[in-house]
Amino acid sequence: PGFLIGFYWPSLQGRAVFVGLLAGVVSAIGILLVIGNKPWGIHPGIYGLGVNLCCMTIVNRWGLDSGKS
């Protein structure tokens, strides 16, 4: 999703995309291992996508300054 969102959100930082990717993958795998294949009938990747987008937005908005001027 970071690649596609980057087209529409030009100020999106690479660090935010990376953190979102890691958080989404870890949460999807965690849900898959702990709860099961499709908790509440929804694929764990959808939950991971939600976590990805939330983390990406938070890191991009309130993350540390990259030092660029």
Positive/negative CA dihedral, 19, 51, 45, 13: negative
- Give per-residue pLDDT as tens, 9-56: 888 888 888 999 999 999 999 989 988 788 788 888 889 999 999 999
At residue 23, the pLDDT reads 94
Instruction: State the Rg of the chain over Cα.
Output: 14
At residue 51, the pLDDT reads 93
pTM for the structure as a whole? 0.78
| Inter-residue contact 57 to 10 (CB < 8 Å) | no
| Inter-residue contact 60 to 11 (CB < 8 Å) | yes
- Give per-residue pLDDT as tens, 53-68: 999 989 888 876 655 5
